[in-house]
Chains A and B, each alone.
Chain A
């Protein structure tokens, strides 16, 4: 019979396509894993020898945070956006500015972190008080 095989399957193994896929996977996992790792704000706890002592020469600016998330700067209520402006203004006037963050026990932590973030962005020393 005159039948003949139409196509021959190549038994050769192509390395380049394998490496292609491996590199693709590598890049994919590198990108996704960096998304899993969260960012963080560094805290300096009392008692650690390498923590800088808080500056004492300036008048303290106290930011109180109520359980509902309302902010009080030195006793008067203030919105978060205006607080940021205020911090920027104060920082300009005094480069050694320090703010004292005094959250209530029941304050959700994101409001506290928001203030810590403002302080971090403007390079202001922020001191947390113990709510108790």
Chain B
């Protein structure tokens, strides 16, 4: 209950049939209007790398730390790409959050 409430997602996500549950330890959320939040706190896209780096030692599972990209429907791909690049540079895994198709 507590952990699921930590990251609140109230945006519309792209749909997929995937049943993998997204981890929410490192969550980068992007909305259509250009706002970026990192683990619920407002941030800018160019700060994300630093914020993740700062957050990494506190992770319980550093080996398998996964960046969850929560991109609202309508966010241009280059922004998602940007976050993927950051995850790749930090040698982290990345996962893109979706919602079940209606």
CB contact list, A24-58 vs B, under 8 A: 29, 33-34, 36-43, 45-48
Q: Residues 71-102 of chain B: 1 if any A CB is under 8 Å from the residue's CB, otherwise 0?
A: 10111111111001101100111111111110
Q: Which residues of A contact B71 (CB under 8 A)?
A: 109
A60 within 8 A of B: no
Least CB distance, B23 to chain A, in whole angstroms = 8
Known pairs A41-B18, A46-B88, A121-B17; A113 contacts B98 (CB<8 A): yes
Residues of chain B from 41 to 83 with CB closer than 8 A to chain A in the complex? 68, 70-71, 73-81
Q: A37 to chain B: which residues have CB within 8 Å?
A: 4, 21-22, 24
Minimum CB–CB distance from B95 to chain A (whole Å) comes to 4
A38 to B21, CA, bound (A): 6
Taking a contact as CB atoms under 8 Å apart, the answer to whether A39 and B94 are in contact is no
Q: How many residues of B contact A (CB 8 A)?
A: 43
Q: How many angstroms from the CA of A120 to the CA of B93 in the assembled complex?
A: 17
Compute how far the CA of A109 lies from the CA of B71 in the bound complex, rounded to whole angstroms: 7
CA gap between A107 and B79 in the complex, in Å: 10
Pair count A-B, CB < 8 A: 128
Chain B residue at minimal CB-CB distance from A104: B77
A112 at the interface (CB under 8 A from B): yes
Known: A37-B24, A106-B78, A108-B76. 20 other contacts (CB 8 A): A33-B1, A36-B8, A38-B9, A38-B22, A40-B96, A42-B20, A43-B95, A45-B93, A45-B94, A47-B88, A47-B91, A106-B76, A108-B74, A108-B77, A109-B71, A112-B14, A113-B96, A117-B17, A120-B17, A121-B17
Interface residues of A (CB under 8 A from B): 29, 33-34, 36-43, 45-48, 65, 103-110, 112-114, 116-117, 120-121, 128, 130-132
